[in-house]
Structure 1
Amino acid sequence: MARSKLKRLLARMVPSGDVVESTVKSGLWVLSQNAVGRVIQLVMLVILARLIGPAQVGLIGIVLLTLSALKQFTNLGFNAALVQQREENVDGHLSTAWVLMGARGAIIALSMVLAAPFVATLFGEPETTAMIRVLAVSPLVLGLKNPGVVYFQKNLEFHKQFVYRISGEVLQFVIAVGYALVWPTAWAFVVAYVVSNVFRALVSYLIHDYRPRLSFDRDVAADLVGYGKWLTGTSILYFLYSEGDDAFVGWFLGPAALGFYQYAYRLSNAPATELTQVVSSVMFPTFSKMQDDLSVLRDAFLKTIRINALVAFPVSFGIVVVAPDFVRTFLGTEWTPMIPVMQILAMYGMMRAFTKVFGSVWKAVGRPDYVTKLSAVRVVLIALLIFPLTQRFGTVGTAGLITGLYVFPMVPLDIYVMKREIGTGYGDILGEAVYPFVAGVLMAGGVWAVRSTLALSPPFSLALSVLVGAALYLGLMGLFESLFDVGIKQNVDLVRSSFSD
């Protein structure tokens, strides 16, 4: 009986029906994928932080920065180009994309091998030379993964993508923790990363029946490159504004400071941005299907940022309040220098999460250049200000710069471009953030008052803060819904109806 009910539930969970129903079901699969994957990643990071310490974590940061730089500088944007195509069947494009991605992977791998000693010299950490060269295996094998997995996103088949992604996350966790328990060094992460990506490449052929051929079509390549060129520029700029600060901190302040800064970023941004990444991942293909009807697209966009605000705001304000207890409980006292950085970056994560879906709309309507151009503005401003602020205030200054620039001018510019593209106003967009923002501030104030009054030890204070915060926020949003019809009930009813018989 229980088994049959489970089968019926899983059958209902498979994305099907009209665009709205498929989108809702896909969103739940991506939510599950990101939630499970992020929990696995965070637990792994916490365990590694305890086992290997900030300096070794900083070495991991240097190695990953090298890989990330080469990946972003050679990102061809082919997946987004294939998803954005109006045609449902893109098999004719896949073999060419596979050849190009394989060549890209080989170039990245060779570049890492050659660049390794120079990167090690730049950061003054010779041990990273061998780590970078071993990590070069990952882009090589992932470049040859089955290109058919793009259909998981294009066709909203996120239940299959769940299996593909989570299997690799689980394997990485097991290997990294097991290795660190025996040999507590940065190599634990490097070895686990490589093995898990080799595994993912193999799984891609088991989970999708498409088989690429060694063929190349110049017209198809020109079509893919024509769309993806703006995404290539965006990826380069994304690295400069999202990880350029990491590289600067590692070079200017050293590996330990880099370890503090990267962990502060990951822990402060992960809950809000990963949950809203779910929405953005699902909505890009959905927006692409709506690209010819701006009124429908505009309505879907506003509903999406409402969901993002409902999730991101309470989580981010909550992180600001509980950061001291969290760090002392899970990472230990040697990690306390990252607390103020974590609190500042939580606000950055909140705003990133709220505006996450903007880029999905621009890509869906064929204007990925907006993302590139706005990213260029941010990169220039960071380049002008990062040295004096980091020199004066350390990693707190770096975090303050990244957050402050997002408040102004980036968010106002994002909203201005969205208004011009699909006709939404400042009031329409900011109106979706008002009630979650007010509820988040009041929640944070209530949690802070309870913590200050009771003065419990960090583990108990953390647990109580989470419970009080959740109760306060849900109560406040329930009150706002009953008084002002915020739209929560409408969203809940939509999800419920998608799973009804």
Structure 2
Amino acid sequence: MSTESTEELGTLVRKGMRWSFASTFLSRLANLASGIILARLLTPNDYGLFAVATVSLVILININDLGLEQVLVRWPGDVAKVASTATTVIFGFSVVLFIGFQAGASAFASALGAPEATDLVRVLAFAILINGALAVPSAMLTRSFRQDLRTYADLTGFIVTTGLTLALAMTGFGVWGLVWGRLLGNLVNGLLHLKFTPVRYRPGWDPAVARELLRGGLPLAGATILAVAMVNVDNVVIGRLLGPETLGLYVLAFNLSSWPVTLLSIPVARVSVPAFARLQEDLVALRAAFARSMGLLMAAAVPICGLLAIMAGPTIRFVYGDKWAGAATALVFLAVLGLARVALQLCFDVLIAVGRARQTLGLQALWLVVLTPALAIGAHLHGVAGVGVAHMAVAVVVMLPAFLFALTGLGIRPGLLGSAVLRPALGAVLLCVVPYFATRELRPDLLVLLVGGVGGLALYLPVVLPMRRGLAALKTAKPAGREAETEAV
């Protein structure tokens, strides 16, 4: 990789990262505010019914592109030669999924213990068609690092979703406000992606191109559906075994625990996959960039996850109200899961970027196979808290070692990552001291949150602030050269 291309990559990464974080932070902040209002207006049962419908949507919307969106993002040649065929394949398969799910919506909702959610499932399924029609423009924005335009589109779609949802909820539409808000917001977001895409491609067909795309995309789609199933199997288990009201409590806790993932991992993934892909010919540079990225992500995620875990009860009672207090028992463990998910997502990103799609497929399959019975056992033994414990234990005890082993194929050793996350690990111990005692000695909840949060951060930040030097090094993404690469291999 030449010096000029390296500098260009660094510029693109910096620009894309800034816009990704800006988009995610603003949308999460607004989502938090709207979520608080909705939690006061709706019931745990409403949230549970919407969760049942959302499970179907999330699964389908993550497989309807057959992995081709990621293939287009990292396509090494002229993407114009394959984009038209990709458009046809993605939308055609989306239509097939839509028809199938309209027919099977009743059976799906009943299997999750909420037959009254059937109509919700059918309406939300229209989002599959929207996503399928506009997947290629979205991929083109990601490929060209136009996170500024994605930010505008994503925030506009979010504003539409939130505004309509709140308006309908406040006028008595209940859970249907969530459904119509989500659907219209997706449509607006997708149309803006189409408007902003650098190049628009008409549907086309080339059998040879289709076969080549599917060879690269199907393993990615398999890994994605396993990842989505892994994240949503807890909703299936709780809905079937514990009912929609308990599912609503769990969904609130899981969404809170996912803050680090949505605030950090999602914007990073939009940039890291194409950035790591451009470094795949220089393993020394790739390893260095990955280790620095992991350290910085952990430094940012630890305070969010640590404070949520230690102060779960006061956080939920103060922010959402006493009717949601039952979610705290799960949040304690799900917050730790959130931290593990941030680390695992970056591992997933680098494996995808260097073309290890089949390996990620095997890892996701292992995760799902181990997780499903663990969740059922946890639900039977300790209800919603048991599900949280099972989710956390499988991620930390099984999947972290499995991903670390997979990374050794790229020369990324546990010792390298251990050095990268040493400061966040030490800081985590100090972070938890003040909030631990605050939750036991202080009242009311607001005082606990203020003292615990400020005191914990005061001890944590001095430990991790020296890592800012790593951020400057990461921005340069300097390759080590061919000789170093050969030696590393």
Asked if TM exceeds 0.5, the reply is yes
* Bigger shift: residues 151-160 or 54-63: 151-160
Which of 154, 161, 169 is equivalent to 1:180? 169
Query: Is the alpha carbon distance of 1:170 and 1:100 closer, same or farther for their aligned partners in structure 2, counting shifts above 3 Å?
Result: same
State the match for 2:69 in structure 1. 79
Which of 260, 268, 276 is equivalent to 1:279? 268
1:377 matched to 2:357? The reply is no
Which of 209, 221, 225 is equivalent to 1:232? 221
State the match for 1:12 in structure 2. none
State the match for 1:216 in structure 2. 205
TM-score (norm 2): 0.91
Written as runs of structure 1 = structure 2, the 5 A alignment for 1:149-168 is 149-168=138-157
Taking the aligned partners of 2:189 and 2:380, their CA distance within structure 1 comes to 42
Query: Is the alpha carbon distance of 1:286 and 1:195 closer, same or farther for their aligned partners in structure 2, counting shifts above 3 Å?
Result: same
State the match for 1:438 in structure 2. 426
State the match for 1:484 in structure 2. none
Which of 436, 444, 450 is equivalent to 1:463? 450
1:447 matched to 2:435? The reply is yes
1:426 matched to 2:420? The reply is no
After superposition, the C-alpha distances for 1:208-235 in whole angstroms (9 at most, x for unaligned) are 2533223111122112111111112112
After superposition, the C-alpha distances for 1:45-71 in whole angstroms (9 at most, x for unaligned) are 222221111001100001111222333
Runs of 4+ in 1 over 6 A off after TM superposition: 493-497
Taking the aligned partners of 2:156 and 2:425, their CA distance within structure 1 comes to 36
Taking the aligned partners of 1:122 and 1:258, their CA distance within structure 2 comes to 14
Taking the aligned partners of 1:461 and 1:408, their CA distance within structure 2 comes to 31
Which of 304, 313, 324 is equivalent to 1:335? 324
State the match for 2:22 in structure 1. 32
Post-superposition offset of 1:443? 1.1
1:488 matched to 2:468? The reply is yes
State the match for 1:321 in structure 2. 310
Q: Are the equivalent residues in 1 in contact too, given 2:223–2:364 (CA < 8 A)?
A: yes
Taking the aligned partners of 2:261 and 2:66, their CA distance within structure 1 comes to 27
Task: Give 1:207's aligned amino acid.
Answer: F
TM-score (norm 1): 0.89
Taking the aligned partners of 1:80 and 1:494, their CA distance within structure 2 comes to 23
Written as runs of structure 1 = structure 2, the 5 A alignment for 1:387-398 is 387-398=376-387
Post-superposition offset of 1:122? 2.5
Which of 257, 262, 279 is equivalent to 2:251? 262
Which of 305, 309, 328 is equivalent to 2:294? 305
Q: Unpaired runs of 5+ in structure 2?
A: 1-5, 478-489
Post-superposition offset of 1:22? 2.0
After superposition, the C-alpha distances for 1:149-199 in whole angstroms (9 at most, x for unaligned) are 322221222111111211101110101011101015110100101111121
Query: Is the alpha carbon distance of 1:466 and 1:250 closer, same or farther for their aligned partners in structure 2, counting shifts above 3 Å?
Result: same
State the match for 1:296 in structure 2. 285
Structure 1 vs Structure 2 CA RMSD: 2.2
* Bigger shift: residues 192-201 or 459-468: 459-468
* Bigger shift: residues 197-206 or 288-297: 197-206
Q: Are the equivalent residues in 2 in contact too, given 1:272–1:315 (CA < 8 A)?
A: no
Task: Give 2:294's aligned amino acid.
Answer: I
Task: Give 2:310's aligned amino acid.
Answer: V
Which of 43, 46, 54 is equivalent to 1:64? 54
Q: Unpaired runs of 5+ in structure 1?
A: 1-15, 482-486
State the match for 2:392 in structure 1. 403
Taking the aligned partners of 2:361 and 2:417, their CA distance within structure 1 comes to 22
Query: Is the alpha carbon distance of 1:384 and 1:496 closer, same or farther for their aligned partners in structure 2, counting shifts above 3 Å?
Result: closer
State the match for 2:462 in structure 1. 475
Post-superposition offset of 1:492? 4.8
* Bigger shift: residues 124-133 or 188-197: 124-133
Written as runs of structure 1 = structure 2, the 5 A alignment for 1:67-216 is 67-87=57-77, 89-145=78-134, 147-216=136-205
**Helix, strand or coil at the partner of 1:113:** helix
